[in-house]
Amino acid sequence: MPTVSMRIDESLICAARTAAKSEFRTVQGQVEFWAKVGRAALDNPDLPASFIAESLMSLAEPREECAPFVPRSRTEAMQA
């Protein structure tokens, strides 16, 4: 993917550096992730940003590591 250089405020880079360490991303990856969350939040103003962020992270997970979705009603019926 082609890259583009741009100027970003140093305080945003410092915040991205801190967040990137805790989320195991590069600083560039963290800024890109925040941009994706922001774009999706603007496109879906009715959804909480935390839901959007978690949804984007789950889409990035390898499919082999994903657990299948089981509705609660089905789990409760199976336990009864």
Question: Domain spans of the chain?
Answer: 10-62
What is the rounded distance in angstroms from the CA atom of residue 23 to the CA atom of residue 16?
10
For residue range 3-61, list pLDDT tens digits in order: 889 899 999 999 999 999 998 999 999 999 999 999 999 999 999 999 999 999 888 87
At residue 48, φ and ψ (nearest 5 deg) are -65, 145
pLDDT at 48: 94
Confidence category of residue 79, pLDDT binned at 50, 70, 90: low
pLDDT at 78: 61
Contact status, residue 57 vs residue 34, Cβ threshold 8 Å: no
**Polymer length in residues for the chain:** 80
Strand, helix or coil at 37? helix
For residue range 54-68, list pLDDT tens digits in order: 999 888 878 887 778
H helix or E strand, kind and range, residue 70: none
